[in-house]
Amino acid sequence: NAGVTQTPKFRILKIGQSMTLQCTQDMNHNYMYWYRQDPGMGLKLIYYSVGAGITDKGEVPNGYNVSRSTTEDFPLRLELAAPSQTSVYFCASSQGSGEAFFGQGTRLTVV
């Protein structure tokens, strides 16, 4: 009963490096989301997808890219890491009523 799986759990990047945060779900949900969580700021939406091949920007998309080639996978790409991207990243999926199921998060530090 995996639900939403994120990898890696932790990562340290140097400024200017790139990386991909992986997210996969096994619930056959159409909707998938990427949020970032910063202390005292709640969760802010980076990108979301309503189905394979369809993505859209959220509130804070700058510096990130996504793709959705399959229903299961929704990777988040950081091309040129900056200290402002130090955060905890959560992937989530949903279907129907909007209730979202979250992964365990990826803690990213950019130094």
Partner 1 sequence: AQSVTQLDSQVPVFEEAPVELRCNYSSSVSVYLFWYVQYPNQGLQLLLKYLSGSTLVESINGFEAEFNKSQTSFHLRKPSVHISDTAEYFCAVSSFHSGNTPLVFGKGTRLSVIA
User: Which residues form the interface with partner 1 (CB under 8 A)?
Assistant: 4, 31, 33, 35, 40-45, 48, 50, 58, 90, 92, 94, 96-105
DSSP states of 61-73: -TTEEE--SSSSB
As a whole number of angstroms, the distance between CA 76 and CA 100 comes to 18
Smallest gap from Cβ 98 to partner 1, in A, equals: 4
Q: Please, which residue, 17 or 88, has the CB nearer to partner 1? A: 88
As a whole number of angstroms, the distance between CA 12 and CA 35 comes to 19
Q: Please, which residue, 27 or 45, has the CB nearer to partner 1? A: 45
Q: Please, which residue, 78 or 90, has the CB nearer to partner 1? A: 90
Smallest gap from Cβ 52 to partner 1, in A, equals: 15
As a whole number of angstroms, the distance between CA 35 and CA 59 comes to 9
